[in-house]
Amino acid sequence: MTHIPGGALSPADPRLDALILAAGKGTRMPSPRPKVLQTLVGESMLGLVYAALAALPGVERVLTLVGYEADLVRAEAERCARRGPRPDEAANCIEQVEQRGTGHALMTALPELENGCGRVLVVNGDTPLLPSAALRRFVTEAAGADLAFATLRLDDPGAFGRVVRDRVGQVAAIVEAKDYDEARHGREPHEINAGVYLLNVDAARRLLPKLTNDNKSGEYYITDLVALAVAEGMSVLGLPVEADTDAWLGVNTPAELAVAEESLRRRRAAELLASGVILHSPGAIRVSLFAEVEPGAELFGPCEIYGDSRVAAGALIESHCVLRNAVVGAGARVRSFCHLEDAVVGAACQVGPYARLRPGAVMEEESHAGNFVEMKKARLGKGSKANHLTYLGDAEVGPGVNVGAGTITCNYDGRNKHRTVIGAGAFIGSNTALVAPVTVGESALVGAGSVITKDVPAETLAVGRGRQVNVPRRKG
Ligand code: UD1
Ligand code: CA
């Protein structure tokens, strides 16, 4: 760590830790789920904040303060850490057992911050749209200050903390909405606290013991550090962030969540259009921040593409499809009303309409899974077709296979799951039940309506059903 005389950090040292305050319940969001796990276009608020911070130059560690439903929030932080940019790193979570305010949150994190590089960027976990360029600018401008925070100008300061400045414009304090008193603090300002702070850890250590909870909420406020730092003669900066005010606003209520989500959705659609993706009804297309859609792919709204999905150039996704961590290869066509999760659709495949690919479904190139076909942990070989009303679970289907309408792999015996293997070039007649474990050999033929309980050798016809009997009809 580079220190300059007097104990302050060198503004030239770019390193810092980032701390996400995510321990609160979010009482203004009437849901049992922790507020930071509410989603915007398929990604949690925590995930979005985490990604913005992890991508910031100089950030050594992203720490997450958890408390309310700590296990759920910790699991999400782990997922965020795995996503990168250093996927091998575990999430750094600190538990705030009782949530006694944002100042108390910082007190809880202090021992861990002491192991860090001397500076910390503290961000409320409920600001999911932080723009990275502006965040980077804030960090640069804040360098060298003991305490800096981002401010916004709003016509109506609402429930946000008010920034109080002295006559020459120096920051004097942040006063929370509930505690603001015009007689004491002057006319209400339009400048508010965005909930993003850069702190020198030495300064924080000196100031935190002076925090009290003597306010209308009975909580320890991180914002009270400002007046305390000013009183100590420390360097304090309230840095206005100029552009894109909405992106810095915290999300507290369902209405605010809806506004933030729509803003993210619109931004993603605009980015895709600009990059060369063809969007029909772009107003109804929801593509998560982490999903990739290549230029030249074509999407029809409404459709939803979430998680780490990838859609290749020339692929076509028709309306009413939901993709979650799904890969769709070049030139593939996913027709309306399909649901794909943790599944792979190879190049030039055809899916749906009304197909469901569950986790572990893999369609090799040029294969077809048609209407009302469900696949789970199943591979459909190159050029194979299961075009109607079929369930393939725990199955391995070779290339060039025709799976007739109504074929079911009976993979579950009530206790265990078993595999079905179908060799290359086999033909499975309609309405066949394949009772697993079972293997149908290459180029075998299974008669329609069969219940196959024994392996079928290659090049063999298997019929497993009652013989048809024709008898003269009785009259009268
Ligand atoms: C806070 C600021 C306010 C600012 C606004 C910006 C304080 C006291 N006020 O208000 O000045 O204008 O953000 O959006 O900080 N949290 C914890 N532990 C706790 C309490 C909260 O981790 O004990 C977390 C919450 O999960 C949340 C974040 O801190 O992610 C902010 O808390 P919240 O209650 O939303 O603060 P605001 O009232 O919005
Ligand atoms: Ca908030």
Neighbouring C-beta atoms of residue 226, cutoff 10 Å: 27
- Alpha-carbon gap, residue 457 to 414, rounded angstroms: 27
For residue 233, the 8-state DSSP code is T
Q: Is the CB–ligand 1 distance for residue 252 below 6 Å?
A: yes
CA angle centred on 35, ends 34 and 41, rounded to 5°: 115
Query: Of the ranges 197-206, 242-251, 336-345, which one carries the lowest mean pLDDT score?
Result: 242-251
Average pLDDT in the 400-410 region? 98
Residue 88 CB neighbour total at 10 angstroms:
7
Give the span between the Cα atoms of 420 and 405, in whole angstroms: 17
CA of 324 to the centre of ligand 2 (A): 29
The protein residue whose alpha carbon is closest to atom 30 in ligand 1 is 125
Four-point Cα dihedral 58, 78, 202, 142, nearest 10: 40
**Residues flanking ion ligand 2, Cβ below 5 Å:** 126, 250, 252
Q: Name which of 125, 144, 164, 205 is nearest 14 in CA terms.
A: 144
Question: Which residue's alpha carbon is at the smallest distance from atom 1 of ligand 1?
Answer: 195
Nearest Cα to 352, choosing from 367, 376, 382, 373? 373
Which listed ligand is nearest to 49 at the C-alpha? 1
Closest ligand 1 atom to 250 CA: 14
Assess whether 388 carries a catalytic annotation. yes
pLDDT in tens, 299-354: 999 999 999 999 999 999 999 999 999 999 999 999 999 999 999 999 999 999 99
Annotate 314-371 with DSSP letters as a single string: T-EE-TTEEEES-EE-TT-EE-SS-EEES-EE-TT-EE-SS-EE-TT-EE-TT-EEEE
Amino acid at 136: R
What residues form DSSP beta bridges with 434? Answer: 409, 452
Catalytic residue among 190, 320, 388, 418: 388
Single-letter residue type at 453: T
pLDDT digit string, tens, across residues 27-70: 999 999 999 999 999 999 999 999 999 999 999 999 999 999 99
User: Is 103 a pocket residue for ligand 1 (Cβ < 6 Å)?
Assistant: no
Ligand 1 atom with the smallest distance to the CA of 65 is 22
Distance, CA 247 to ligand 2 centroid (Å)? 13
Q: Which ligand sits nearest to residue 36's alpha carbon? A: 1
CA of 124 to the centre of ligand 1 (A): 6
